[in-house]
Structure formats: C-alpha cells, structure tokens
C-alpha cells in the first residue's frame, strides 16, 4: 500500500437532509490498519458518516478517498468496504453458510475453495459447525459473529461497524470487545467503528473522533482524549470531570496562574493560546486526580477545604461529593473507599480537604 498513513481521506464532507445538517464539514485522515472509532451521542452524525463511507448515502459536498480513489461515483457494491450492520442484517431466508457465502458469488471460486473460505471464516469467528443454522436459531452474539464473518470473508480493505455491540448485554459486550480487537489485529485491515459508548471507544480504538452536531470535536488517541480534552463538551462526554470557572491572572511561558471560583489561586499548564492574561477559562479536573484528607496538604500540593455532602458507591470506587464555598457545584472526588487518605471513614457533613497536583488541571475555553 503506497499511502498507508492516509489510507482514507475525508475532505470537507457534509451531508444535509433537507434543512438538517447531519454531517458538517468533516476532514479526517485514517491510516491503513487503524482501529478508528466515531464516538458521539445519537443524532451526532456518526452513523451517517459511516453510511457515506459505505456508499449508502452520498455526501452533499466534499469527497471521500479510499486508497487514493475518490468514492463519490462508486456505488456501494463496488467499494472496497464491507459493513457490519447495527441489527446485523442476517438474511432470514438463508442459512449461516449461505449468508457468509453471499458476497463470494462474484469471486468465481471453485466449490472447494468457496467451502474452504466459509469454513475458515466460521472458524475465525468461533462458530464452526453453525453453518446450517438459520438466523432465527442464533443468539444475538452469534448473529453478530455471522455478520462479522460475512463482511470479513470478502476481504475488504476497510471494515465498517455500526454499533455492532449495542444490542448485546454488558458481559457479552465486554467479551466481544476483546475478540474484536484481537480480530482486527490478526486481519490487519482498517476498522471504522461507530459507537455511543465512550468506554467501548476508549478500550478498542487506536484513535477516536468525538462527534457532536455533525462536527468532529476532537480526533485523538484515547489517552489524549482522556487527559487533554479540547473542550468542555468532549471532556463531559468522556468520563466525568469537575468544571470550575476561572480567570487568568498571568501567563509565564508554559505556566499560568489563575483565580478559580472557590479554589482561589491555582497554577496550571497554559495549554493553548486562549489562555491569555485576563481571559475567562474553565478549569477541568478528573475526580480521580483529586484526593481527600482531614488535614491540609503538606507536600506542596494545592488544596481547598470543603464539606462532605454525599457519596455514590460505584463498586470498584466511590465518588464523594464535596461542597466548596464559592464553587457552583459540589466537586466530585474519586476514592477507593469512602475514607480519607489516612484511612479514617469520612462521614457526611465532616470538614475535609481536597488536594491536587498542578499538572492534573486542564484549561478549557469557556463554552
């Protein structure tokens, strides 16, 4: 492949349905062999974008290139893409073998070769011996596997997946996530994966595009998305975050000093050029980057006093909500147990200190 780093290119792709703008000027470059996710709430345009890649919708403007070839004049049945549909779209009048072999009718294979390819793909999705079943005899997870096998047996250059795990229960979903990732690594082709589940997107992907209102808000690796979101919207969609209004007092190279509501004077990394002296910004911090104690911090970390209000038990951790004078909303602090770092249980209404490291504060533009 000559152009592996820019295997799929979208330039200015928009899609209008009458007055509704479903996809708004998307520019993306996806490399060969990448596991790329489109993440966003329903109606954000992610499925429309995927369907444009498959050819089921044509862009109102812009162009999609796959492997250097422009796609706008290529009908879906001639594209080097195959799709796993949200409801799997298993043909009900055909058995599993016939479903998988459906797309191979055009490859002029000998009977033996055809059988071998089908057996191989059944093996690959761990369904050997299911060939003669019909779709109504399969469980949700099995249908999903058949859909995968049917698409992959065509050996596409790009596999498109439209929320393929959405219909499965939580446990099965987690199992399939691992399998899907392993499958992608073994076949080595580009996967483009649509989901509204941020956890799923972070677990699976090499890179994620967070979408809202037809736009791509941020395209980045899961780590970058989590640690350095570019806007409140992205930060809010990926995990949980505390937001505090602040004003920039001064900027010194990479360092900024801010006056944050309730927190007082804080220091943070001046990440972008909207952090100017006198500018209003938002300080964002993850709950797990905050820690609780009964005493003010002594190791040079910033801290602020507040009152423990309530705690939400989440199994592997708890979120403790602490009201701080001047802060609009209680701050959420993640803790292993509902206890301070010194090991004493924290009771409702007790006075506590919240502390953090300067690097854990992220500065975001005001929405």
Binding site for another protein (CB under 8 A): 16-18, 51, 54-60, 75-78, 81-83, 85-87, 89, 91-95, 98, 102-103, 105-106, 150-151, 154
Q: Are 237 and 198 in contact (CB under 8 A)?
A: yes
The least distance separating another protein from the CB of residue 100, rounded to whole angstroms, comes to: 10
Of residues 104 and 364, the one with the C-beta less far from another protein = 104
The least distance separating another protein from the CB of residue 211, rounded to whole angstroms, comes to: 19
Distance separating alpha carbons of residues 20 and 15, to the nearest angstrom? 9
Strands 158-162 and 81-84: what pairing? parallel
Of residues 55 and 287, the one with the C-beta less far from another protein = 55
- Candidates 286, 285, 302, 303; CA nearest to 294 is 303
Distance separating alpha carbons of residues 272 and 254, to the nearest angstrom? 9
Distance separating alpha carbons of residues 345 and 37, to the nearest angstrom? 41
**3-state DSSP assignment of residue 116:** helix
In the chain, DSSP assigns E strands to 8-17, 20-30, 35-39, 61-66, 69-70, 81-84, 158-162, 190-195, 207-212, 215-220, 242-252, 255-260, 264-269, 280-285, 291-293, 302-313, 318-323, 331-335, 351-356, 362-365
Distance separating alpha carbons of residues 150 and 144, to the nearest angstrom? 10
The least distance separating another protein from the CB of residue 134, rounded to whole angstroms, comes to: 9
Of residues 162 and 355, the one with the C-beta less far from another protein = 162
Of residues 95 and 340, the one with the C-beta less far from another protein = 95
The least distance separating another protein from the CB of residue 70, rounded to whole angstroms, comes to: 16
The least distance separating another protein from the CB of residue 108, rounded to whole angstroms, comes to: 12
173-204 as b/e, with b when 16 or more CB fall inside 10 Å?
beebbebbbebbeeeebbbbbbbbbbebbbeb
The least distance separating another protein from the CB of residue 361, rounded to whole angstroms, comes to: 45
The least distance separating another protein from the CB of residue 43, rounded to whole angstroms, comes to: 17
- Candidates 152, 118, 150; CA nearest to 135 is 150
Of residues 52 and 364, the one with the C-beta less far from another protein = 52
Of residues 57 and 67, the one with the C-beta less far from another protein = 57
Of residues 1 and 20, the one with the C-beta less far from another protein = 20
In 163-254, DSSP assigns E strands to 190-195, 207-212, 215-220, 242-252
Q: Is 5 exposed, middle or buried (0-12, 13-18, 19+ CB in 10 A)?
A: exposed
Other Cβ atoms less than 10 A from the Cβ of 72: the count is 13
The least distance separating another protein from the CB of residue 128, rounded to whole angstroms, comes to: 19
Of residues 19 and 345, the one with the C-beta less far from another protein = 19
Of residues 106 and 345, the one with the C-beta less far from another protein = 106
Q: Are 266 and 283 in contact (CB under 8 A)?
A: yes
The least distance separating another protein from the CB of residue 105, rounded to whole angstroms, comes to: 7
Of residues 37 and 95, the one with the C-beta less far from another protein = 95
CA 162 to chain centre: 13
The least distance separating another protein from the CB of residue 96, rounded to whole angstroms, comes to: 11
């Amino acid at each position: 492949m000559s152009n592996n780093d820019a295997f799929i290119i979208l330039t200015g792709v928009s899609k209008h349905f009458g007055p509704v703008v479903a996809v708004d000027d998307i520019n993306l470059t996806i490399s060969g062999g990448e596991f790329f996710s489109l993440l966003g709430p329903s109606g954000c345009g992610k499925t429309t974008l995927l369907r444009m890649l498959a050819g089921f919708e044509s862009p109102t403007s812009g162009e999609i290139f796959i492997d250097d070839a422009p796609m706008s004049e290529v009908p879906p049945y001639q594209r080097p893409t195959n799709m796993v549909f949200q409801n799997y779209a298993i043909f009900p009048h055909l058995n599993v073998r016939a479903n998988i072999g459906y797309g191979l009718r055009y490859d002029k294979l000998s009977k033996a070769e055809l059988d071998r390819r089908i057996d191989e793909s059944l093996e690959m999705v761990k369904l050997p011996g299911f060939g003669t079943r019909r779709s109504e005899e399969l469980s949700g997870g099995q249908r999903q596997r058949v859909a995968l096998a049917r698409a992959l047996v065509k050996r596409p250059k790009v596999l498109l997946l439209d929320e393929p795990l959405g219909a499965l229960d939580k446990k099965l979903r987690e199992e399939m996530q691992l399998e899907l990732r392993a499958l992608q690594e073994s076949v080595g082709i580009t996967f483009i994966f649509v989901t509204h589940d941020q956890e799923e997107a972070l677990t699976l992907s090499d890179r994620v595009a967070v979408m809202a209102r037809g736009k791509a808000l941020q395209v980045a690796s899961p780590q970058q998305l989590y640690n350095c979101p570019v806007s409140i919207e992205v930060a809010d969609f990926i995990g949980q975050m505390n937001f505090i209004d602040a004003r920039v007092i001064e900027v010194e190279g990479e360092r900024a000093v801010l006056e944050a509501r309730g927190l007082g004077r804080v220091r943070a990394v001046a990440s972008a050029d909207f952090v100017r002296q006198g500018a209003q910004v938002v300080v964002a911090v993850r709950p797990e980057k905050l820690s609780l104690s009964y005493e003010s911090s002594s190791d040079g970390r910033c801290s602020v006093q507040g009152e423990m209000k309530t705690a939400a038990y989440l199994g592997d951790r708890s979120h403790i909500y602490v009201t701080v004078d001047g802060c609009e909303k209680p701050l959420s602090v993640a803790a292993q147990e509902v206890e301070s770092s010194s090991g004493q249980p924290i009771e409702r209404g007790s006075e506590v200190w919240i502390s953090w490291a300067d690097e854990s504060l992220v500065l975001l533009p005001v929405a």
